[in-house]
Structure 1
Amino acid sequence: MSCRPLSNRMLDLYQGAACDRVERTPRRVILAGLAGLAAAFTTRASGAQTVGEAAPVTVGPDYLSPYSLAFSIDTTLLNTGFDRAPWNDPDAEAAESVPAWETAYRGARGAAWGPPARQYPQPTLARQDEDYRRQRVISVAARHIGLPYQHHHVPSWGPPAGWPWLPVEAGSNGPGLDCSNFVSFAYNYALGLKLPTGIALQGHTVDLPGPGDVGVLRARRIDVRRYDDLRAVLAPADLLYIRNRQDRVSHVVMWLGVVGQSPTATPLILDCTQTLHRDASGATIPIGVRLRPFREDGWYWRRFSHAHRLIGAEVVMRPGTVDPLPEGDDQA
C-alpha cells in the first residue's frame, strides 16, 4: 500500500535517549528514553490504511526536523513480540552479562567497543510479506533517533566512568552506536539478522547468518551509477554503503523509500553519523541517529559505492552455516 503524505498520517519520530551524562547512566533509564517514542504512538485507521502517529518533539539540541516517517502498517503489528523476552530486556541486548563482561575485559584490546550484541532469535512475525518486514526494520531503527554517535555495539550500554573510549565528536563517552552497529542492531532486533559490525567487512559480505543464526542468507548487491536509476531500484530498508576519500567503504545508511517524508520530495535515509549535514530548511542536522536527505548533489550520492538488499524475493536463503563474523573494526 502507498502512504500519501497527509499531515494526519505522518509519524514524526524525534524522541530518543537523553544521553548527556557525567557518570554512568543505568541501562534501563537509557532504554526508557529510547522506548518513549513507542509509548507516544497512537493509531488511526483510514480506509485501507492504518498508520502510527506521534507529535514531533525535540531531541537533544533544539532541533526539530522537517522530515517524518509514514508507516502504512499499524505500529502494533510492527512491534509484535517486542514485549516478550529477550526483546523486552535491555540487559539482554548484549551477548553476555554486562557486569561480567566489564570485569573480564576492562583494559583489554577492544574494550572501548563495549559488550558485543546478542544474536536475537528468529521472531514470530505478524505477517511475512516484504513490506511488513521492511517497515518493521525501519520502525526499530527509528526508535533510536536522537541516540549519539559512539563506537559501541549495543545502544543501551553506559560505559563506567573512566572506561576506555574511542574519541568522537560527542566529546565524551556515553551510550551510542556507530553506523554499522546501528544498522546491524536494527536488523538483528527486528528480524534476527545479525550483520558483521566492522564497516568494511559488512559492506563486502553478502553471505550472512540467516534469521536467528539459522541457515545462510545471500543478500543482493545493487550496483547502479545513475541517481535516478538508484532511486527507482531501491526499496525501504536497503543498506547503502558510502566510500571515503580513499575509495574504501567507510559508512552505511538505511534507505527509507516511501516511508520517508520530505517537504521537498527528496528521498531520505536514516543513519548514525558524526558528519554534519543540512536539512531541507538549511538547518544543521545534529550528529547521531537522524533522518537525513539523500540529494543528487550531496555527499551520500557522490560517495555512493553500492547497496545491499536483505529483504525480497531475490534474497536467497539456503541451508548451511557461515563462519563466525567478527565484531567491530579491527583497526580500532
Structure 2
Amino acid sequence: MKTSLLLLSLLLYCSALTAADYQSPYKVAFTYSDEELIGDILKGPRGNWKEEASVPYRDWYDEANQRRWKYWGPAAKHFGAPAGMSNKSPEWSRQRVIATAMRFVGYTYQHHHVPDWEPPASWPKDEKQTTPVTKGVDCSNFTAFVYNLALGIKPTGDVQDQAELTEAPGPGAGRKISVKRIELPERYEDFEKTLLTGDLLFVKSNKGEVSHVVLWVGKIGRSPDGVPLVLDSTGTGTKDSNGVPIPDGVHLRPFKKGWWYASKASHALRIIPEK
C-alpha cells in the first residue's frame, strides 16, 4: 500500500491553525495518496469554503437572517456523492471521512452549522459561549458536515437526534443510506476490535444523556503511547501524551482508559457499510 503524502501536508496545515502554536503528538497515516482521497476537495469547487452553506455566500451575513438563524448561521448545503464513489471500497470511504475532517483541525468550538461561518460583532451571540466568536463548529455539526462534504451523506446536526439515526440522507439528494447501531464492548481493550475508522462514537454526560460525538480514527491513527485516537470538536480539558493541554475545537485526542470518552461511551453508529 502507498504511504500517503497527505500526512505531511495535513500536519503542516494544522500546525498553522492551532491555538498558541500547539503541536500535536498524534498523527494519521493514510494508505491512499492525497489525490486519491480528497483531490476533488483540495483542488475543486467542492472544497470552496464559500460553498458550504445552503444559501449563497452573499447572503451569509444578511441582517434579515439574524432572527431566523441566530448564532448558528446558515445551514449546510447537501453535497452530492463524490465522483466514482460507487466504485470505491468501504476503506477508501472511511479514510476519506477522516482526511476530510483533518482539514478542519484548529477550528475552534462554536455553535455553528458550517465551519467557516464567522459572524460579525453585530450578530446575535450565544450567551453560553465563553470563547471568542470566530469560525468553528460544535461536535455534532462537525461530524454531520464532515460526512456531508466527504461522501454526500447528511446526518442531522443535533447530537441526540444524530445518536438515534437508523438512516441518513444520501449519498446526494433524494437517496437514503442505512445506519447501523454498534453496541460497545464491556472491556476497554476491545474497543479497537469493535469499531472501524469513521464510526461515530457517542458519549454521555454525567446526567446520563448523550451529549457528545467523536469520529473514531481507528487503525490509521498513530500515537506515541499506542492509545487509540478520536477526532472531534470540543472544549478544553484534555491533555495529550506529552501532558500538554489540547486547545478547544477540532483536534485529534486520545481515547484513554478511564477518561470521559471511554468511561461514558454510549454506543456507536456505522454509516459506511462494512463490505
Length-normalised TM-score, structure 1: 0.76
User: SS of the residue aligned with 1:73?
Assistant: coil
Counterpart of 2:226 (choices 237, 259, 265) is 265
Counterpart of 1:223 (choices 183, 191, 195) is 183
User: SS of the residue aligned with 2:100?
Assistant: helix
Task: Spell out the pairing of 1:7-156 with structure 2 (5 A cutoff).
Answer: 11=8, 13-14=10-11, 36=13, 59-82=18-41, 83-85=43-45, 87-103=46-62, 105-125=64-84, 128-156=88-116
Q: Specify the alignment match of 1:244 in structure 2.
A: 205
Q: Which has the higher helix share?
A: 2
| Bigger Rg, which one | 1
CA 1:220–1:257 in structure 2 vs 1: closer, same or farther (change >3 Å)?
same
CA drift at 1:206: 1.8
Q: Distance in 2 between matches of 1:95 and 1:9?
A: 29
CA drift at 1:109: 4.7
**Deviation beyond 6 Å, 4+ runs, structure 1:** none
Q: Specify the alignment match of 2:122 in structure 1.
A: 162
Contact 2:94 2:198 in 1 (8 A): yes
Q: Specify the alignment match of 1:26 in structure 2.
A: none
Indicate yes or no: 2:241 matched with 1:300.
no
Q: Distance in 1 between matches of 2:273 and 2:19?
A: 36
Q: Distance in 1 between matches of 2:17 and 2:172?
A: 35
Q: Specify the alignment match of 2:170 in structure 1.
A: 210
CA 1:308–1:292 in structure 2 vs 1: closer, same or farther (change >3 Å)?
same
CA drift at 1:303: 0.8
For residues 67-111 of structure 1, the C-alpha deviation after alignment (integer angstroms, 9 at most, x for no partner) is 1111111111111322333x1432211001244354364441542
CA drift at 1:285: 0.7
Matched residues, number: 272
Contact 1:134 1:236 in 2 (8 A): yes
Contact 2:18 2:247 in 1 (8 A): no
Q: Distance in 2 between matches of 1:205 and 1:227?
A: 25
CA drift at 1:161: 2.2
Contact 1:276 1:284 in 2 (8 A): yes
Unaligned runs of 5+ in 1: 16-35, 38-55, 315-332
Q: Distance in 1 between matches of 2:69 and 2:59?
A: 16
CA drift at 1:14: 4.3
Q: Specify the alignment match of 1:45 in structure 2.
A: none
Length-normalised TM-score, structure 2: 0.90
Unaligned runs of 5+ in 2: none
Q: Specify the alignment match of 1:255 in structure 2.
A: 216
Q: Specify the alignment match of 1:201 in structure 2.
A: 161
Which segment is superposed worse, 101-110 or 285-294?
Answer: 101-110
Contact 1:80 1:125 in 2 (8 A): no
CA drift at 1:13: 3.9
Contact 2:10 2:103 in 1 (8 A): yes
CA drift at 1:281: 1.0
For residues 188-237 of structure 1, the C-alpha deviation after alignment (integer angstroms, 9 at most, x for no partner) is 01100111001111111121112002322111111123222222111111
Q: Distance in 1 between matches of 2:64 and 2:137?
A: 19
CA 1:128–1:247 in structure 2 vs 1: closer, same or farther (change >3 Å)?
same
Q: CA RMSD in A?
A: 2.4
Q: Distance in 1 between matches of 2:153 and 2:71?
A: 24
User: SS of the residue aligned with 2:19?
Assistant: coil
Q: Distance in 2 between matches of 1:109 and 1:153?
A: 13
For residues 242-281 of structure 1, the C-alpha deviation after alignment (integer angstroms, 9 at most, x for no partner) is 0011111110000111111001100000000014101111
